[in-house]
């Protein structure tokens, strides 16, 4: 196994962090553009959300097939195929002038993005020692947040000054350069042997993961957490370009710098795991995120930014802990387990957008807070249920031993 701080560890960490950065740059490129695109295509906020939701929904539905395919074709090959496909899909977007065409291409991009996202963590689990993995997963998810920040700011600023096509073209060029670096740096796997004809095995593994409450509860926590986190940002973008703030798309996109709080909290989870319970960390992260939504109620930029910082810190803290929980608790078919976590994660992000943006359209931020509170209550309940699960299992084991 690759040990912490070894030369191979640095190659794996850097290459997977770079790949993750590119994936999330491409995934979130259009999120700050939503208010602009709603005006461009003359549709409502809820309708224009399909540009963003199509990619996250297609990504979620493609994760399991890619994870299973990686068992045959290899993790590295699947990840690189997905990254190499991204610039071609971006190029096709430059030649479409219809909303439906753009939505379909964004869905195609979601499928390509899933190739990397579905197996990167499984690659780390299989190749890195326990200590190395605990450090690498924080770096990997921190790269997620940095990619989200850069993709959104690039999309917002370039759209305001040069148009959305320039943002897409620039992202395609960055992706080509970054992908070539990943191809060069990412080592071939040594602790993985490709398997053929094991579709039935993975089908059974998928069902076993869903039946394992300890794993499944963490997956649902991830989905609800992301439904709140990413879509509170979408709503905030609409809020800032509307009266009384009237910010431009480029300036409004700067709110995504608040993701840096998530970059920090993702790194802190390794220290937390060494001292405290992961589930207690999820409860803490959820509490901080909820506090952020409440703080953002006050209609002043300082309070809204403070709220987003808290939301980012708490949501990424919860996500990193839940993601690592699933990958470590799964005893077999780890790629399928982590992919299944991401299925819940991105389905939550896709459906949560329509839920919270609809609430914003009809009731403003008060409506968003009321709708969001329901999801936060569900998160607390699931965390407490997950916390009680090991105790129940220990009790049963004690009874059986007697």
Q: Is 333 among the domain residues? A: yes
Q: Is 1 among the domain residues? A: no
CA angle 85, 267, 66 (to 5 degrees): 30
Q: Is 49 among the domain residues? A: yes
**What residues have CB less than 8 Å from 85, skipping those under 6 apart?**
112, 115
Q: Is 253 among the domain residues? A: yes
Q: Is 2 among the domain residues? A: no
d(CA 351, CA 3): 40
Find the CATH number of the domain harbouring 260: 1.20.1250.20
Q: Is 88 among the domain residues? A: yes
115 in Cβ contact with 81 (< 8 Å): yes
Q: Is 326 among the domain residues? A: yes
Range of the domain at 135: 7-188+196-401
75 in Cβ contact with 188 (< 8 Å): no
pLDDT at position 317 is: 95
Q: Could you give the number of structural domains in the chain?
A: 1
Q: Is 77 among the domain residues? A: yes
pTM over 0.85: no
23 in Cβ contact with 9 (< 8 Å): no
Per-residue pLDDT of the chain (402 residues; tens, 9 = 90+): 888 888 899 999 999 999 999 999 999 999 999 999 999 999 999 999 999 999 999 999 998 888 888 878 888 999 999 999 999 999 999 998 899 999 999 999 999 999 998 889 889 988 888 888 888 887 887 888 789 899 999 999 999 999 999 999 999 999 999 999 999 999 988 877 666 655 666 677 777 787 888 899 999 999 999 999 999 999 999 999 998 999 999 999 999 999 889 888 988 888 898 888 999 999 999 999 999 999 999 999 999 999 999 999 999 999 999 988 997 888 777 767 877 898 999 999 999 999 999 999 999 999 999 999 999 999 999 999 998 865 544 333 332 232
């Amino acid at each position: 196994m690759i040990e912490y701080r070894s030369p191979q560890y640095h190659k794996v960490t850097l290459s997977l962090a770079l790949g993750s950065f590119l994936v999330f740059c491409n995934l979130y490129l259009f999120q700050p553009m939503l208010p602009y695109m709603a005006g461009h295509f003359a549709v409502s906020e809820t309708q224009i959300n399909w540009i963003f939701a199509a990619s996250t929904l297609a990504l979620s539905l493609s994760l399991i097939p890619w994870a299973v395919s990686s068992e045959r074709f290899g993790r590295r090959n699947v990840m690189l195929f997905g990254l190499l496909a991204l610039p071609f899909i971006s190029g096709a977007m430059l030649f479409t002038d219809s909303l439906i065409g753009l939505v379909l291409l964004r869905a195609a991009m979601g499928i390509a993005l899933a190739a990397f996202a579905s197996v990167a963590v499984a690659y780390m689990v299989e190749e890195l020692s326990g200590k190395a993995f605990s450090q690498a997963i924080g770096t990997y998810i921190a790269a997620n947040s940095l990619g989200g920040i850069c993709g959104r700011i690039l999309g917002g600023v370039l759209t305001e000054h040069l148009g959305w096509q320039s943002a897409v073209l620039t992202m395609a060029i960055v992706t080509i350069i970054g992908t070539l670096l990943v191809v060069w740096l990412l080592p071939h796997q040594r602790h993985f042997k490709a398997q053929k004809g094991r579709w039935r095995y993975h089908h059974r593994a998928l069902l076993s993961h869903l039946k394992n409450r300890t794993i499944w509860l963490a997956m649902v926590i991830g989905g609800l957490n992301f439904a709140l986190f990413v879509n509170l940002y979408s709503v905030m973008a609409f809020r800032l370009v509307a009266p009384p703030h009237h910010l431009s798309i480029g300036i409004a996109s700067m709110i995504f710098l608040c993701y840096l709080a998530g970059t920090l909290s993702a790194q802190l989870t390794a220290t937390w795991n060494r001292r405290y319970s992961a589930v207690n960390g999820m409860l803490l992260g959820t509490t901080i995120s909820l506090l952020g939504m409440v703080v953002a109620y006050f209609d002043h930029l300082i309070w809204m930014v403070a709220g987003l910082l808290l939301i980012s810190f708490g949501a990424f803290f919860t996500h990193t802990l839940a993601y690592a929980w699933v990958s470590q608790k799964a005893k077999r078919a780890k790629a399928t387990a982590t992919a299944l976590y991401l299925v819940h994660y991105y389905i939550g992000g896709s459906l949560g957008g329509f839920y919270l943006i609809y609430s914003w359209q009809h009731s403003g931020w008060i409506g968003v807070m009321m709708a969001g509170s329901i999801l936060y209550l569900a998160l607390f309940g699931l965390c407490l249920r997950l916390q009680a699960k090991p105790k129940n299992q220990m009790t049963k084991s004690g009874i059986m031993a007697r």
